Amino acid sequence: MSVPRRPRLEDVAALAGVSRALVSIVIRDAPGASAATRERVRRAADQLGYRPDTRARMLSRSRTRLLGVVFGVQHAFHGDLVDGLYAAASGAGYDLALSAVTPRRDEDDAVAGLLQDRCEAMILLGPRTPAAQLAQLTARLPVVVLARHVRDRAVDVVRTDDAAGLHLAVGHLASLGHRRIAHIDGGRAAGAAERRRGYREAMRHHGLAAHEQIVGGGLTEDDGAAAAADLLHGQPPTAVTVFNDRCATGVLHTLRAGGLDIPGDISIVGFDDSRLAQLSHVDLTTVAQDVDRLATLAVGRAVARLDGKPVDRRELVVPPRLVVRTTTTEAQPGAPTTSRTLL
Amino acid sequence: MSVPRRPRLEDVAALAGVSRALVSIVIRDAPGASAATRERVRRAADQLGYRPDTRARMLSRSRTRLLGVVFGVQHAFHGDLVDGLYAAASGAGYDLALSAVTPRRDEDDAVAGLLQDRCEAMILLGPRTPAAQLAQLTARLPVVVLARHVRDRAVDVVRTDDAAGLHLAVGHLASLGHRRIAHIDGGRAAGAAERRRGYREAMRHHGLAAHEQIVGGGLTEDDGAAAAADLLHGQPPTAVTVFNDRCATGVLHTLRAGGLDIPGDISIVGFDDSRLAQLSHVDLTTVAQDVDRLATLAVGRAVARLDGKPVDRRELVVPPRLVVRTTTTEAQPGAPTTSRTLL
DNA sequence: TCTCTGGTTTAGAGCGCTCTAGCAGCCTGG
DNA sequence: CCAGGCTGCTAGAGCGCTCTAAACCAGAGA
């Protein structure tokens, strides 16, 4: 039996009794065809179940209208961003090509995969790639770094005002009467340095410089768990701001498992407002990043570069917003919970 | 200034002083060129920084060597599977085209996106799409459903033996002396029915039919949290098997927040052994799915269909494995924790 | 009647690659 | 010396689409 080859432009043209070019015009909704012909061609296309071949289309058009996205398959927050990016891209008439960073597939692999796909620009979510390498990539195609600060002037950046986020967090805690507020940081993760800086500034601003305490953390739940264990060894603070929600949930659950009451004994503030923070059993007070705005700006910037439009500021900074849930409360007037160890 | 056009096959050919066809041969590592020429061409290609154009290559080749993957950006376990799929696909000489299901992008959107990309086959992770629709899709291209049971004989399936997994879970708990073992189910989620069935069978097998208790759950942490709240209202069981790890963590943290000791008061067994279960502060006893094997089989099946090889069994079932961590322990000899309510 | 216009349609040249046929050489054996 | 079989290479026809330039064909105006 003969395989029923997928219908081509030519088949539709033959059926409708017109030229290939005209069918192309109709399919693309391009100007230059009469209403009657349009109707006839469209009917023929439907009848054959014609669908244009993207490969051929891309080859012929100079543009692919494809935006590459590198994201961490592990990060809940990246998932949220991807959702926003899909929406923003389709709004701008672009498609997304996803490339995941997984335990066995690093950022370089992910980027290489996208380069093969001939996407026109690339959006990298919180990349760990060194700035120099990013700059080099920018020479090949427009690159937008999302959710990370990059000094190099060659690279476009869209990010949340991380420092401002920590001002919000610390301010919130200070207004609840907390003084011994610690920060569990993100180490070398994207945004960590900025948030650390914001924490320090805010503590000073509230006259709490003496209580500054930065605990080594990281970006995963396990990093948070480890940091929480550390906290319990010394004299624990009455509140902590944490690098991100993932890490914060690790802190939360570990402290609870250690017998502490959250927020009674310790208040916790996360960062991101990812899905994680919104879970009913986590219900984390956190600094929300404006996902849709970040996504829209990132796509917009990529498109602007592609269109060769002049770009005013290289770095677009989006203000964060504090979302108060149930992991923060007023500082207890009594003596703070004394030091104790886990188990 | 003129834009430096990306080098084409022709440019390399000109530089090396040979024909386009020969360059193509060398680039593809195809037979039919002398070692000396190979070397010369490769040098020319390097010099120009030549990279083949995937679009043109795909158009010209009948094959795209592209496998579409539909996954839920929210599901930690899907992330694990994607990691495995990347590895398996590259081993088989295929590339992956990811298409995410997000809150605003449903499965139909994801599938439609992939069809545009001209992938040769599709791998769907725990799809919710009705069987009839899947069968219809199969008429267009090979479809492998991963991690879900599908009755329709047209659709290829690779999945874990869900029922056996619950036999393992219940058996483990029974051997620890538990009798009142409840099951928090996954509702209409992929695999839920099978796991429910396995639970029932296992309970009967251990003479615990009288203690059967199925609690409505779901596949998210919040579903688990809600189910846990339910549990606390009646006389809580001494152990629960939970549909998946996500749901189980919801159960775990909610019960702990409710003042129960896990595993002292209630033992918990999850399903998947996703990253989530392995977190230090969760450390969940769970039924592990063999991710790499599932991924390899799924890719293998897709490739077999593409190669037109005869396929022995439509459904490939992978045995699960019990991973004992810290959320299960022996049933307490004394009276079970009495009923209490949250808060 | 002829030209001019503007909308409609088409021929045909790519886009950058793959792949089949076929053409030079050279070697072997008759 | 030539038939036959190599290996190494190339010409050229696609793959299915887009897009430019040119042809066509009314109807309007000269």
Mean pLDDT for chain B overall? 91
B133 and B100 co-located in one domain? yes
A120 and A175 co-located in one domain? no
Residue A334 banded pLDDT, cuts 50, 70, 90: low
Q: pLDDT at residue A262 above 60?
A: yes
CA of A157 vs chain B CAs: smallest distance (Å):
24
Q: pLDDT at residue A73 above 60?
A: yes
B230 and B84 co-located in one domain? no
Burial A164-195 (b: 16+ CB within 10 A, else e): bbbbbbbebbbebebbbbbbbbbeebbbbbbb
Q: Which residues of chain B have pLDDT under 70?
A: 1-4, 334-343
Q: Which among B95, B117, B221 has the least Cβ separation from residue A281?
A: B221
In chain A, the number of structural domains is 3
Is B140 contained in some domain?
yes
Is B72 contained in some domain?
yes
Q: Which residues of B touch A221 (CB under 8 A)?
A: 279-282
CB contact under 8 A, A281 and B103: no
Cβ partners under 8 Å of residue B36, min gap 6? none
Q: pLDDT at residue A13 above 60?
A: yes
The domain boundary residue, chosen from B269, B284, B299: B284
Q: What tens digit of pLDDT does each residue of A301-326 get?
A: 999 998 888 888 889 999 999 999 99
CATH number at residue A270: 3.40.50.2300
Domain boundaries, position B97: 66-159+291-318
Residue A116 banded pLDDT, cuts 50, 70, 90: confident
Is A324 contained in some domain?
no
Tell me the Cα Rg of chain A. 26
B152 and B201 co-located in one domain? no
The answer to whether A34 CB sits below 7 Å from nucleic acid chain C is yes
B154 and B166 co-located in one domain? no
Residue of B nearest to A77 (CA): B74
Nearest to A119 by CA among A136, A144, A102, A84: A144
B168 and B189 co-located in one domain? yes
Is A17 contained in some domain?
yes
CB pairs under 8 A between A and B: 127
Residue B187 to residues B210, B220, B244, Cα–Cα distance (Å)? 22, 11, 11
CB contact under 8 A, B281 and A225: yes
DSSP assignments along B238-288, one per residue: SEEEESSHHHHHHHHHHHHHTT--TTTT-EEEEEE--HHHHSTTT--EEEE
Q: pLDDT at residue A2 above 50?
A: no
Is A199 contained in some domain?
yes
Q: Which pLDDT belongs to residue B279? A: 93
A72 and A126 co-located in one domain? yes
Is A26 contained in some domain?
yes
Look up residue B328 and give its two tokens: 């299960």
Is A334 contained in some domain?
no
